[in-house]
Amino acid sequence: MFVPVSLEIKDTVVRSYRTDPVQPYPIPLSFILPLKTNINMAKTLHTDPSSIFNLLKSYALSPNNILKAKELFNQIQKPTLSDWNIMIRGWSQTQQPIQAIYTYNIMYSKGLIGNNFTYLFLIKACGRIPHGSYTTRMVHSRVFKLGFDSVLFVSNALVHVYAGFGELGFARKVFDEMSERDLVSWNSLICGYGRCKRFREVLDVFEEMRMDNVKGDAVTMVKVVLACSVLGEWNVADAMVEYIEENEVEVDVYLGNTLIDMYAQRRMVNLAMRVFDRMHDRNLVTWNVMIKCYVKTGDLVAARGLFDVMPQRDVISWTSMITGYSQAGQFANAVRLFKEMMEAKVKPDEKSVASALSACAHIGSLDVGEAIHHYIRKYGVKADVYVGNALIDMYCKCGAVEKALAVFEEMGKKDSVSWTSVISGLAVNGSVDSALNLFSLMLREGVRPTHGTFVGVLLACAHAGVVDKGLEYFESMEKVYGLKPEMKHYGCVVDLLSRSGNLERAYEFIRRMPVNPDVVVWMILLSASQVHGNLPLAEIATKKLLELDPSNSGNYVLSSNTYAVSNRWEDVVKMRGLMKNSNVMKPSASSSIEISDSNSSQDTKLSVMEKNRL
């Protein structure tokens, strides 16, 4: 019984070994002369088979010289089992592992069944063949028939290869039937479950391993700690740390990185740093994981300190810091670091580009945003849907709605965020007709709107003054699309009614809200009441605001201004006294401008001196 391969290919290979050893794999001229010399040497040393075997072995175990090994092998009149094994082993390590199967079939046809090493190399070859699980099963049946399944390292190889192909049922069956197991056996099964993301089974097998009094090593603990992290089994994770310490498991770079990442997920930065400090060897992943840990806990100073002293950086290092600055609202720092990244000739990935564009959007840095867009086009940075959405958001927030529309139209793939971003951007920038038309197109194309989409649509209706249409859209949220309105949608409707002068209607809408109105809703009504001179509603809104947010100076100021417009000066004095008695301080206004590529506060030392002079 042969291990199944294509009969046509098998016959070709058999003929190549018997008749024309060079036809299927032409031998380059670069090694013909040395090869002839070695073959002649082999002929002169035919009385010393060990010398020939050593030469064959040196060729076979060097993947670049496997054809030389084949040529030399074909010169041996009666190859021994060791000769066949070394050829099978050699082919198993090349980019053509299927040749190991072919070589075995030829050997078997000559009456040699092989030994335990033959099947070890054969199984390893199966593991390197794409979609080789069927071939593995055929080899497994031969192993079982010949009794080599009792050999520990052969069974270990089967468990490892089955697990590598995701054939965990076969892997577990081989494992369970093993008369003897060692750490490799357990690790092969644990790693297989981990590779297939069956993390609960990882913990279960590890528990079986402990019950069997087998001590785990760093390989074991990497998979077990990772499983704890994915499952959120933090008590088990802490027990595993104790296990590592009690059993003096060596914390190599991979286990160290896994422990740091586990602590990072739990925001336990001190414990993560303790692992980092104890590690004798660190790689780039170690530094990146530790930086991410500090970023996640919001300690950007410590993260930047590590970033500045790390021996080398990759795109992940830069992206972690840029994203950290952007998420923490330090947008100027995010943009500045992105510029440094460009100067360091590090090609950004989609995440760093999206974070930098988001930072540009928040600080209104259109020129830097446009430069990033130009870089994306020039250097072929993958512009996925997230980058496209970030570009749309940046251009909209910087007022360049035409460029936002151009990006939107060029996007090959759009999601609901893409539509929402451009609709909201058009609405905020006054292009209300375009926003509403785009929303209609979105619905025609079958894209389901989101909560964010309706915020943009309601804003557009408010700016356009189309009250009835806006209310119709609001009603459709839950009735048509199953989206329960949120506080921001109620606020948009109050703004829609208030802008059009329907203050009583807006107040009635607030009273009928199924949720308690927040500060923003009452602030919208108060602002509109001031504009339209509706003092009774202004007083109602003021009372609610002072109940909900008594420490906000804006509520007192806006109410005081409303009284001033109505010439009720006693109430103005009363409101300001109330503000003073409540120890509410009015914050000083400030703004920022970009000077020499840096975002600086306008409230500089010079302006402070000018204030003092005044």
- Express each pLDDT in 539-555 by its tens digit: 888 888 878 766 565 66
Token pair listed for 43: 């002929």
| 613 vs 26, more confident | 26
Give the CA distances from residue 25 to residues 20, 55, 58, in Å, rounded to whole numbers and listed in that order.
10, 20, 19
pLDDT at 42: 47
Cβ–Cβ under 8 Å, residues 368 and 326: no
- pLDDT surpassing 90 at residue 175: yes
**For 143-171, what is the mean pLDDT?**
94
State how far the Cα of 117 lies from the Cα of 282, in Å rounded to an integer: 37
DSSP 83-105: HHHHHHHHHHTSS-THHHHHHHH
Phi-psi region of 213 (alpha: psi -120 to 50; beta: other; left: phi over 0): left
Residues 75-96: tens digit of each pLDDT:
888 999 999 999 999 999 999 9
Cβ–Cβ under 8 Å, residues 347 and 381: yes
pLDDT at 27: 36
Calculate what percentage of the chain has a pLDDT beyond 90: 68
State how far the Cα of 374 lies from the Cα of 249, in Å rounded to an integer: 51
> Long-range pairs for 180-186 at CB < 8 Å and ≥24 separation?
180/152, 181/152, 181/212, 181/214, 182/152, 182/156, 182/214, 183/214, 183/215, 183/216, 183/217, 183/220, 184/153, 184/156, 185/152, 185/155, 185/156, 185/159, 186/212, 186/214, 186/216, 186/220
pLDDT at 361: 93
**For 353-358, what is the mean pLDDT?**
93
Cβ–Cβ under 8 Å, residues 549 and 519: yes
- pLDDT surpassing 60 at residue 45: no
pLDDT at 358: 93
pLDDT at 383: 77
Q: How many CB atoms lie within 10 A of CB 461?
A: 28
State how far the Cα of 566 lies from the Cα of 569, in Å rounded to an integer: 8
State how far the Cα of 45 lies from the Cα of 75, in Å rounded to an integer: 12
Give the CA distances from residue 293 to residues 34, 171, 244, 303, 350, in Å, rounded to whole numbers and listed in that order.
56, 36, 22, 8, 21
pLDDT at 611: 30
How far is residue 473 CA from its own chain's centroid?
A: 36
Residues 375-406: tens digit of each pLDDT:
888 888 777 899 999 999 999 999 999 999 99
State how far the Cα of 308 lies from the Cα of 287, in Å rounded to an integer: 11
Mean pLDDT of the chain: 84
Residues 213-268: tens digit of each pLDDT:
999 999 999 999 999 999 999 999 999 999 999 999 999 999 999 999 999 999 99
Where b means 16+ CB within 10 Å and e means fewer, 233-272 reads beebbeebbebbeeeebebbebbbbbbbbbbbbbeebebb
- pLDDT surpassing 70 at residue 116: yes
Residue where the block lists tokens 């042969």: 2
State how far the Cα of 231 lies from the Cα of 310, in Å rounded to an integer: 31
Bridge partners (DSSP) of residue 601 are: 592
Residues 286-337: tens digit of each pLDDT:
999 999 999 999 999 999 999 999 999 999 999 999 999 999 999 999 999 9
- Classify residue 577 by burial, with Cβ atoms within 10 Å: 0-12, 13-18, 19+: exposed
How far is residue 99 CA from its own chain's centroid?
A: 38
How far is residue 442 CA from its own chain's centroid?
A: 29
State how far the Cα of 447 lies from the Cα of 461, in Å rounded to an integer: 20
Q: In this structure, is the dihedral angle defined by the CA atoms of residues 390, 394, 395 and 397, taken in order, positive or negative?
A: positive
DSSP 463-504: HHT-HHHHHHHHHHHHHHH-----HHHHHHHHHHHHHTT-HH
**Model confidence band, residue 588 (pLDDT cutoffs 50, 70, 90):** low
| 536 vs 564, more confident | 536
Q: In this structure, is the dihedral angle defined by the CA atoms of residues 432, 434, 440 and 445, taken in order, positive or negative?
A: negative
- pLDDT surpassing 90 at residue 456: yes
Phi-psi region of 147 (alpha: psi -120 to 50; beta: other; left: phi over 0): left
pLDDT at 395: 94
Phi-psi region of 4 (alpha: psi -120 to 50; beta: other; left: phi over 0): beta
Of 106-115, 425-434, 504-513, 604-613, least confident by mean pLDDT is 604-613
Residue 531 neighbours by CB under 8 Å, 6+ apart: none
Side-chain half-sphere exposure of 365, counting CA atoms within 13 A: 28
State how far the Cα of 255 lies from the Cα of 277, in Å rounded to an integer: 14
- Classify residue 212 by burial, with Cβ atoms within 10 Å: 0-12, 13-18, 19+: exposed
State how far the Cα of 506 lies from the Cα of 503, in Å rounded to an integer: 5
592: helix, strand or coil: strand
pTM: 0.71
**For 426-453, what is the mean pLDDT?**
91
